[in-house]
Amino acid sequence: MSTDAAVTTRRDRRSLARFASWDYVVIAVTVLFLVVASLSIELFGTSRNAGFLILDLAPILVLALPMTLIIITGEIDLSVASIVGLTSAAMGEMWNNGLPLETILWITILIGAILGAVNGFFITVVGLPSLAVTIGTLALYRGLAFVLLGDTAVADWPRSFTSWTIGSLPGTWVPNVVLPILVLVVLFAVLLHATPTGRAIYAAGANATAATFAGISVGRLKFWLFVLSGAIAGLVGVYWTLRFGSARGDNATGLELVVVASVLLGGVSIFGGKGTLPGVLAGVVLLASLQNALRLLDVSAEALTVVTGVLLIVSVLAPNVISAVNAALARRRRARGASPPSASASTGPPETSTAPHSSPPSPTPSTTQ
């Protein structure tokens, strides 16, 4: 095989491997599921249901954006749903005390950022594991939410705000929230895939020690990612409160499981260093549309939780199994390429004498005495 042909073959193999990667598989499965569900499940393919589907997946998608960055660095934030609940309760408390809603919105996002900074401090400064810290703050923040409002709800929000949150763009069925969500998606995509910060995020997740020697402040990077995650969770707290028209301490309970499942289902490695935002977007759409379809089929909430748990396990196991299989195949190809050649190829032609053949010398006659 010529050199050009070998290069072309290797390039084709890389392209095939790229399209066979987990995130492309999830994108293909998501498209296939949407088509099949639209054709087979009553009301699923209607514009009205599509609008409700977007409103349902909006908080999952928005929370998944910073969660993707955090998991790529090798960390995790399980407190995001509790931050949503606490910021929602804080909104209700501030509204009860007479603050204007325009001011409350910004304060709520700031509160979320502060709560995220608390997580970042214990993880990057104190040096505690993010799993342990965010499990602790998951319970702490949810408890503080009930301290603020107890079992009561604040539901007298201005109709102009709640109507916009659940309303649609003029003349269409597309919800208003699509535009700010698209802006956030573009910003996070540029940050992760087209900036030095994004490259630092991947480097920190692949090998934190090597990233530190390369001049990346891994601790500071992770700290600000947790602050960003908290601020985004505060924004989701605003959305959740206005969409449902109610500030409660139990808002978004259990949402962290769905967010983590969506990110991992989208191909982000739980061990860090790998993942793409398009795959995560497909994972969010797949999980949200699957839940929506099951609700239309009158499946119970408990079954939805089981489905989410199963997908979470699959999203952790499947990419690692695929990686192990690919690594084994690569080792086999290398071993086959490095196998010793056959004897005829490895040894040269038999040595031949260039001297003319002669008969063996006759023995010298002995001298007789």
Domain of 295: which CATH number?
Answer: 1.10.3470
Residues 6 or more apart whose Cβ sits within 8 Å of residue 98: none
Low-confidence ranges of the chain (pLDDT < 50): 1, 5-9, 12, 15-17, 19, 343-369
- Per-residue model confidence (pLDDT) at position 363: 45
> Domain residues for 64?
3-327
- Per-residue model confidence (pLDDT) at position 3: 55
Q: How far apart (Å, rounded) are the C-alpha atoms in residues 118 and 134?
A: 10
Residue 345 corresponds to which amino acid? Answer: A
The answer to whether the beta carbons of residues 228 and 112 sit under 8 Å apart is: no
- Per-residue model confidence (pLDDT) at position 10: 54
Q: How far apart (Å, rounded) are the C-alpha atoms in residues 369 and 366?
A: 10
Asked whether residue 87 is assigned to any structural domain, the reply reads yes
Asked whether residue 16 is assigned to any structural domain, the reply reads yes
Asked whether residue 157 is assigned to any structural domain, the reply reads yes
- Per-residue model confidence (pLDDT) at position 89: 96
pLDDT digits 0-9 by tens, 222-276: 999 999 999 999 999 999 999 999 999 999 998 999 999 999 999 898 898 989 9
- Per-residue model confidence (pLDDT) at position 21: 75
Q: From residue 356, how far is each of 327, 351, 352, 361 by CA, in Å?
A: 58, 14, 11, 14
Q: How far apart (Å, rounded) are the C-alpha atoms in residues 265 and 256?
A: 14
Burial degree of 266 (CB within 10 A; 0-12, 13-18, 19+): buried
The DSSP secondary-structure symbol of 172 reads S
Q: How far apart (Å, rounded) are the C-alpha atoms in residues 243 and 39?
A: 29
Asked whether residue 338 is assigned to any structural domain, the reply reads no
- Per-residue model confidence (pLDDT) at position 359: 46
The answer to whether the beta carbons of residues 141 and 82 sit under 8 Å apart is: yes
Residues 6 or more apart whose Cβ sits within 8 Å of residue 189: 277
Q: How far apart (Å, rounded) are the C-alpha atoms in residues 311 and 265?
A: 7
First to last CA, the chain: 76
Give how far the C-alpha of residue 160 lies from the chain's centroid of Cα atoms, to the nearest Å.
Answer: 35
Asked whether residue 335 is assigned to any structural domain, the reply reads no
Six-digit token string for 68: 């993707």
- Per-residue model confidence (pLDDT) at position 36: 94
Give residue for tokens 């010529």.
Answer: 2
Looking at the structure of the chain, the number of domains it has is 1
Q: How far apart (Å, rounded) are the C-alpha atoms in residues 37 and 203?
A: 39
Asked whether residue 294 is assigned to any structural domain, the reply reads yes
Asked whether residue 37 is assigned to any structural domain, the reply reads yes
Asked whether residue 367 is assigned to any structural domain, the reply reads no
